[in-house]
Chains A and B, each alone.
Chain A
Amino acid sequence: MKKRPDLYTNYRNESSIFPTTFQKFWFGLLLVSSFAAPFILSSYWVLLITTSLLIAIASWGLNVVSGYAGQVNLGHGVFVGIGTYVSSVLGGVATTSVIGYELDMIIWLPLSGLAATLIGIILSPVSARLKGLNLGLVTLALVFIGSHFFSNLKFITGGAGLGRKAAKLTFMGIDLEAGITFGNFILEKNDFIYFFSLILCILLGLGVKNITRSKIGRAFSAIRDRDIAAEALGINLFKYKMYAFGISSFYGGIAGSLLFTLSGGVEPGSFSLLYSITFVAIVIIGGVGTVLGPLFGAFFFTMLPGIIQALLHAFGVGDAGFIFNPAEIERIVFAFFIIFFLIFEPRGMWGIWFRLRNYFKAWPFSY
């Protein structure tokens, strides 16, 4: 058996999280190198990777509801926003204009996820009543209603254009804001956020993988493929759509709570229509209905500004010497990627990865 890793003799083996030793090895290597990363890489890269990991968590959430369960959601950014503001209120510092309770991270992190879940569950009956495009349009309405609340609940959010500070990083009574010195190493605030994000990313990523191979995941796929047929098979649509929205918003909320702790402050204008669309685009560019896809998409999205800057420098184009500035080029490239992936590679970057992998698996045979 050891010599034939692709031979599965039972279902349990085939559906295990890491079916081959090859995958176990590379995953282990990735784990070790990611835990060592802050000691090796510069703080700029740590910041980028942390952002990617958190965006990947949020995108996984959207992927659960849209990719696996097939329920269109154009308002995922709102759940990220809810997570952000719950964490900011519970963990943030009170000022004359905003409230804050300076609680421990161990309290605000789960609560921000749970608060988003609650809103998701409250809204999920809508998806039981509506389907397809109409559901998409209602979630679009959610973006506008959400940003209206965000900019008008001034005692929570600080109001449009002003914003507030995000949650303070206190873990189990230890204040991590200023960083901690271990011998020669100084671990800064962002390094700690990196570790938290990494652990969350591993746990939640394995969580997604686990959902797909469980009863709930199979129910999601059935609903996505044909909801009426799923109902005829005895799947309770209402219940499972509620699960899908609940899980999805939990991921969004958790990601949101840490995402803005990283940048330190949050302004209600962040949660615009484009912000929500970004998650849809990340899932599409990465690969709909896959576990690795959103991770690829999130890294691509976060690295894109850097790649464009590097390319501009490589071609000797200064910031002023070109019609569009880097931020605009980034948006144009992003829009083109959405369009081209949808037309030419609907399975996203995961699809490219999949074909590449299979090509080398059969090397030197191309069939």
Chain B
Amino acid sequence: MTVFLQATFEGLSLGAIYSLVAIGFVLIYKATDVLSFAQPALAVVGAGIISGLAVDRGVPFWLALIIGIVFTGLIGLLVERTFLRPMVGEPVFSVAILTIGIDILLRTILNKWIGIDPRYLGDPFPSFGNFGSFDVSGVTLKYLEIAALITALVLIGILGVFFKRSKYGIAMRATSFDQEAALAQGINVGRVFGLVWLIAGILAGFSGFFITGGFNTLTQASFISALRALPAVVIGGLDSIAGAVVGSLIIGLTQGYIAYYQLPLESIVGFTLGSGFSLIAPYLVMFIILLIKPDGLFGTKEVERV
């Protein structure tokens, strides 16, 4: 039971982190019809900025965190303005490949800076409690993971209010419904595109911190973790924010349970699935769910005409 609770907790906090990246994916896809493969790169770039400021330059951590996240948002905005604006109206797949180009670009520059040794982010979480964690009846809870859960909940809440109440939130919903009709109603669609990338960048910045914070550290392979938000989005359906959150939780929990139960199960069935199976399990889940429901669990079914 303790193992089960431990796996559930870790799975939920992973899911919360993935959901931040996943919501960014969905926002961009809904508003601009772009599937951005650059999101994982933005997440690690955010972490890199935080680490560079807090550890290398000695800026107080909380200030570095804010600067890092804001900067990630601005990089998102910049990417949209420079590379994606000329591609409005082009085939979805070309634009997706273009974001892969952006991803390679950002990560090559970042990897140069990271080097071989893992980078710490200089956050105070490892110093809390017993090396950053505390026990509740046998279950080890990490402060960083709790912070991730709370942050994700708060951000999702803020976004919910933003979409329902604010002027730009409503403009975004209108744009995602029909870009040209929104333009005809006097909505500045270009500004909405930029805003969406800004928000997605900020969300990526947060997730980047939680993926690499504490003892997780920032390495050249960190982006693979952020990329796992992609199966989450696909499971939920590319155009559903609720779906992105549910998909992220499914992916997070799958990963958590398999990490804890793979070895006991393998000793029962008698063959091994290989080390690191928990890391590719999300992709297998995505594979199966897509074969059953091609539009994801919550995605709207596309009506096609000849």
Contacts of B108 on A, CB cut-off 8 Å? 328, 331-332, 335
Measured in the bound complex, the distance between the Cα atoms of B274 and A280 in whole Å is 29
| B104 nearest CB across to chain A (Å) | 4
Given contacts A136-B93, A332-B109, A338-B98, contact A145 B280 (CB under 8 A): yes
Residue of A nearest to B35 (CB): A133
Contacts of A72 in B (CB 8 A): 93
| Chain A residues within an 8 Å CB radius of B111 | 328
Q: How far is the CA of A334 from the CA of B102 in the complex (A)?
A: 11
Expressed in whole angstroms, the minimum distance between the Cβ of B278 and any Cβ of chain A is 11
User: Does A237 belong to the interface (CB within 8 Å)?
Assistant: no
Contacts of B186-215 to chain A: CB distance below 8 A: none
B156 at the interface (CB under 8 A from A): no
Q: Does B137 contact A (CB under 8 A)?
A: no
**Given the complex, which residues of B lie within 8 Å of A152, measured CB to CB?**
272-275
Q: Which residues of A contact B104 (CB under 8 A)?
A: 274, 277, 331, 334-335, 338
A137 with B286: CB separation less than 8 A: yes
Task: List the B side residues contacting A82 at CB < 8 Å.
Answer: none
Residue A136 contacts which of B90, B96, B102 (CB distance < 8 angstroms)?
B96
B155 on the interface (CB 8 Å rule)?
no
Size category of the A interface is: 35 or more
Q: Which one of A144, A145, A228, A274 lies within 8 Å of B304 (CB-CB)?
A: A228
Q: A132-B92, A343-B87 are in contact. Are A148 and B105 (CB under 8 A)?
A: no
Q: Is the interface of A mostly helix, strand, loop or mixed?
A: helix
A343 near B234 with CB under 8 A, answer no
B1 within 8 A of A: no
Q: Is the CB of B97 within 8 A of A280?
A: yes
Expressed in whole angstroms, the minimum distance between the Cβ of A254 and any Cβ of chain B is 25
Give chain A residues whose Cβ lies under 8 Å from the Cβ of B96.
Answer: 133, 136
Which of B83, B93, B102 counts the most chain A CB atoms within 10 A?
A: B93
The residue of chain B having its C-beta at the shortest distance from the C-beta of A146 within the complex is B280
**Interface contact B83-A134, CB-CB below 8 Å:** no
Q: Is the CB of B286 within 8 A of A335?
A: no
Do A332 and B105 touch (CB < 8 A)? Answer: yes
> Chain B at the A interface: mostly helix, strand, loop or mixed?
helix
- State in angstroms the CA–CA spacing of A226 and B273 once bound together: 40
A336 at interface (Cβ–Cβ under 8 A)?
yes
Binds A, one of B163-171, B257-265, B287-295: B287-295
Q: How far is the CA of A338 from the CA of B283 in the complex (A)?
A: 26
Contact A342 B35 (CB under 8 A): no
Question: What's the Cα separation between A323 and B113 when bound, in Å?
Answer: 10
Contacts of A141 in B (CB 8 A): 231, 283-284, 286-287
Q: CA of A87 to CA of B58 in the docked complex: distance in angstroms? A: 54
- CB of A180 closer than 8 Å to a CB of B: no
Task: Mark interface residues in B71-109 (1 if CB within 8 Å of A CB, else 0).
Answer: 000000000000100110010111111101110110011
Instruction: Evaluate contact between B86 and A137: CB separation under 8 angstroms.
Output: no
List the B side residues contacting A232 at CB < 8 Å: 306
State which residues 135-163 of B face A: CB under 8 Å.
none
Q: Which residue of A lies closest to B292 (CB)?
A: A129
A148 and B290 within 8 A (CB): no
A129 pairs with B93, CB closer than 8 A: no
Residue of B105, B234, B284 near A137 (CB, 8 A) is B234
* Residues of chain B at interface, number, CB under 8 A: 44
User: Of B86, B230, B272, which contacts A140 at CB under 8 A?
Assistant: B230
A228 CA to B304 CA in the complex, in Å? 8
Q: Name B286's contact: one of A136, A138, A280, A324 (CB within 8 Å).
A: A138
Contacts of B276 in A (CB 8 A): 148, 151
Residues of A within 8 A of B92 (CB): 132-133
Contact A328/B112 with A134-B294, A141-B231, A148-B280 known, Cβ cut-off 8 Å: yes
B294→A339 contact, CB < 8 A: no
Is B238 located at the chain interface by the 8 A CB criterion?
Answer: yes
CB-based nearest B residue for A228 = B306
Q: Cα distance A277–B92 when bound, in Å?
A: 17
Question: In the docked arrangement, what's the CA distance between A274 and B290, Å?
Answer: 24
Cβ-based interface call for A199 (8 A): no
| Cα–Cα, bound, A132→B304 (Å) | 13
B177 close to chain A: CB less than 8 A: no
Say yes or no: A335 contacts B102, CB within 8 Å: yes
Residue-by-residue, is A133-175 near B (CB-CB < 8 Å gives 1, otherwise 0)?
1101110110011001101100000000000000000000000
Known: A130-B294, A346-B94. Is A336-B101 also a contact (CB below 8 A)?
yes
Q: Is the CB–CB distance between B93 and A132 below 8 Å?
A: yes
Docked Cα-Cα span, A332 to B107, in Å, equals 9
Query: Which one of A126, A141, A152, A226 has the highest number of Cβ atoms from chain B below 10 Å of its Cβ?
Result: A141
Q: How far is the CA of A284 from the CA of B91 in the complex (A)?
A: 13
User: Which residues from B are CB-within-8-Å of A324?
Assistant: 112
Q: Which chain A residue has the least Cβ–Cβ distance from B84?
A: A343
B105 touches A342 (CB 8 A): no
A229 at the interface (CB under 8 A from B): yes
User: Does A138 lie within 8 Å of B102, measured CB to CB?
Assistant: no
Contact with B234, one of A131, A134, A228, A323 (Cβ below 8 angstroms): A134
A119 to chain B, nearest CB (A): 14
Q: A294-323 toward B: CB 8 Å interface, digit per residue (1/0)? A: 000000000000000000000000000001
Q: Find chain B residues with CB under 8 A from A342 CB.
A: 87, 90, 94-95, 97-98, 101
User: Nearest 10 pairs between A and B by C-beta?
Assistant: A152-B274, A338-B101, A141-B283, A335-B105, A335-B104, A339-B101, A331-B108, A148-B280, A342-B98, A335-B101
Which residues from chain B sit less than 8 Å from chain A, CB to CB?
35, 83, 86-87, 90, 92-98, 100-102, 104-105, 108-109, 111-112, 230-231, 234, 238, 272-277, 279-280, 283-284, 286-287, 290-291, 294-295, 304-306
22 of the cross-chain contacts (CB-CB < 8 Å) are: A126-B291, A129-B294, A133-B35, A133-B92, A134-B238, A136-B96, A137-B231, A137-B290, A140-B230, A144-B280, A144-B283, A145-B284, A148-B274, A148-B279, A148-B280, A281-B101, A331-B104, A332-B105, A339-B98, A339-B101, A343-B87, A346-B90
Which residues of A approach B to under 8 Å, CB–CB?
72, 126, 129-134, 136-138, 140-141, 144-145, 148-149, 151-152, 226, 228-229, 232, 274, 277, 280-281, 284, 323-324, 328, 331-332, 334-336, 338-339, 342-343, 346
